[in-house]
Amino acid sequence: MTRVSQSLAGTGSDMGSFVSSTQTVPDLGAVPQHIAIILDGNGRWATDRRLPRTAGHRKGVETVRSTVESCARLGVRYLTLFAFSSENWRRPADEVSLLMRLFISALQREVTQLHRNDLRLRIVGDRTRFDRKLQAAIMAAEALTCNNRGMTLTTAVVRGDDVGRPIGEDELAAHLSMHYAPEPDLFIRTGGEQRISNFLIWQLAYSELYFCDRYWPDFDQGALMDALAWYRRRERRFGRTSAQLAGTAA
């Protein structure tokens, strides 16, 4: 990663819970403060090129690196990447094993650069199914970057936040694994699928949903800028009318 110089208030270890957009209208800007992405299409990218699916996952790691760099430069405060879901455990054992090895190697290879660039790393979800080596690598990476003040990079690895009883919105918010970040302004899914697949289903209620036909390994900086241009054309009303928005702007 190249050097990224940022100092963004509210992204360090002292972050509290953010208020839901169902209760208040968030601050809006040309650049989303929180982007959430489902990294879809690695296997299909490889299959189209007559390569093993594992080649697509390795290429996808490179795309993660470039996307993190681009978002940090643009001033995005939170970037959340959906890398591995509970349902992905159903995949062939050799592919799951490769994904776990890639995860460990990426952590070990990239965390020093993340720390050098003042970025904060968080891994959310249920980690209990990971082996001890991977769990230790996650804890070490989070500990190293926990006091950094730049962009917060979150990797969602498996589903968490299961709740066994009815509770209110205020009570729930503080216990979500993503309580430290505002709701995503922009959700991106690559690979041509148009669903959210159990990813941040509570927080995406008022997010702008952008679906891209490109497979994740081909999601380059130009594709990211296309998504941001689309986002800027959206009218984010949060229950208000267009006339109300016009009055606010005036």
14 half-sphere exposure, CB direction, 13 A CA radius: 4
Task: Give the residue numbers annotated as catalytic, written as ranges.
Answer: 40, 88
Q: Coil, strand, or helix at residue 249? A: helix
27: burial class by Cβ within 10 Å (0-12, 13-18, 19+)? exposed
Do 53 and 42 contact (CB within 8 A), yes or no?
yes
206: burial class by Cβ within 10 Å (0-12, 13-18, 19+)? middle
35 half-sphere exposure, CB direction, 13 A CA radius: 27
Q: Say which residue the tokens 């460990």 belong to.
A: 104
> Looking at the DSSP assignment, which residues form a beta bridge with residue 82?
38, 156
Quickly list DSSP for 31-65.
S-SEEEEE---HHHHHHHTT--HHHHHHHHHHHHH
Quickly list DSSP for 12-28.
STT--PPPPTTTSPPP-
